[in-house]
């Protein structure tokens, strides 16, 4: 028998607010997509973005569940890749896992499998700015739901949910080539074309609780930005910029311009 974790020890939210939220959620559709049901209070907890919690005193955010779900997701995806790719080394497996559980992949799952944007509880400002379709919020909420499934159903239930959500993605990433490691791939391509290493010029904007990192990719010895990425973390922004830069180096005019810059610097 699976040993379940105890329920979260966060403050009990206002009963009227909790009941109202629960009554508005078409939970059965979401449970079907997850392959598991959740207690109403735990479901609300998993769907509560910090912007909503800040506007409704007593509601806990989903950040602790997100932290837990991230660990469960990494464990199950690692276990799966280890079993189905016995011929691959650690580095290859790590790249595949990183791609499969990336913000890009999880936000796509949130949109196509869970239709999650309609369920997420957002504050007015975040909702008005399109928060229900932001990759970062969708990704975090998927992880929070996985964490909630683990809390209620233990590792066996969480494993089943993770398989239902990401097995298709795990199969796809094995065929994606450079997409598994954009930063390495853009470096290799730049060297093949005779350029120096990529460098990432970073900037950050927005309030402390919702910072946006911007990465501008420039090849050493040149001046032009060949790729730009924006994301909720420095690493993710650099990955987006690396992908854009890798694709830019397929353009012959861009390469010619870069070579002119090298010759004049």
Find the CATH number of the domain harbouring 63.
Answer: 1.10.1520.10
Residues 69-89: tens digit of each pLDDT = 999 999 999 999 999 888 888
Residue with tokens 């239902």: 164
Same domain, 115 and 225: no
Confidence of residue 27 (pLDDT cuts 50, 70, 90): confident
What pLDDT is attached to residue 171? 87
| Contact by Cβ (8 Å): 204, 212 | yes
Q: Would 156 be classed as within a structural domain?
A: yes
Q: Are residues 20 and 142 in the same domain?
A: yes
pLDDT confidence bin for 166, thresholds 50/70/90: very high
Residue ranges of the binding site for Mg(2+) = 66, 140, 143
Residue 125 belongs to a domain = yes
Same domain, 48 and 100: yes
Q: 124 with 246, same domain?
A: no
User: What band does 262 get if pLDDT is binned at 50, 70 and 90?
Assistant: confident
Same domain, 234 and 144: no
CA-CA distance, 25 to 198, in Å (whole number)?
47
Strand partners of residue 203: 214
Mean pLDDT for the chain overall = 87
* Residue 103 sits in the same domain as residue 158: yes
pTM of the shown model: 0.66
- Residues at the binding site are 66, 140, 143
Question: Do 244 and 144 fall within a single domain?
Answer: no
Q: Percentage of the chain surpassing pLDDT 90? A: 62
Q: Which residues are catalytic?
A: 70, 143
Q: Which domain holds residue 127?
A: 15-180
Q: State how many domains the chain has.
A: 2
**222 and 152 share a domain?**
no
pLDDT, mean of residues 146-162: 97
- DSSP code at position 177: G
Q: What pLDDT, on the 0 to 100 scale, is given for residue 13? A: 46
pLDDT band at 12 (very low <50, low <70, confident <90, very high): very low
* CATH code of the domain in which 204 resides: 3.30.160.20
The answer to whether residue 62 scores a pLDDT higher than 90 is yes
């Amino acid at each position: 028998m699976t040993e379940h974790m105890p329920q979260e020890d966060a403050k009990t939210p206002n009963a009227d607010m909790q009941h109202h939220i629960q009554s508005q959620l078409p939970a059965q559709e979401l449970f079907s997509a997850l392959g598991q049901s959740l207690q109403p209070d735990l479901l609300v907890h998993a769907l509560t973005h910090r912007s909503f919690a800040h506007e409704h005193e007593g509601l806990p955010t989903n950040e602790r569940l997100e932290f837990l779900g991230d660990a469960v997701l990494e464990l199950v995806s690692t276990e799966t890749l280890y079993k189905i790719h016995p011929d691959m080394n650690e580095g290859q497996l790590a790249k595949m896992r990183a791609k499969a559980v990336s913000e890009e992949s999880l936000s796509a799952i949130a949109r196509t499998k869970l239709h999650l944007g309609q369920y997420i509880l957002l504050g007015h400002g975040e909702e008005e700015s399109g928060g229900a379709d932001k990759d970062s919020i969708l990704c975090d909420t998927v992880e929070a739901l996985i964490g909630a499934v683990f809390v209620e159903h233990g590792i066996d239930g969480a494993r089943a949910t993770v398989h239902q959500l990401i097995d298709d993605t795990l199969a796809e990433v094995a065929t994606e080539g450079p997409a598994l490691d954009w930063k390495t791939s853009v470096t290799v391509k730049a060297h093949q074309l005779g350029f120096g290493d990529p460098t990432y010029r970073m900037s950050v904007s927005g309030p402390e609780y919702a910072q946006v990192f911007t990465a501008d990719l420039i090849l050493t010895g040149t001046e032009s930005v060949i790729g730009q990425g924006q994301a909720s973390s420095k690493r993710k922004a650099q990955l987006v910029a690396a992908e854009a830069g890798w694709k830019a180096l397929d353009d012959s005019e861009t390469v010619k311009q870069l070579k002119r810059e090298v010759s004049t610097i």
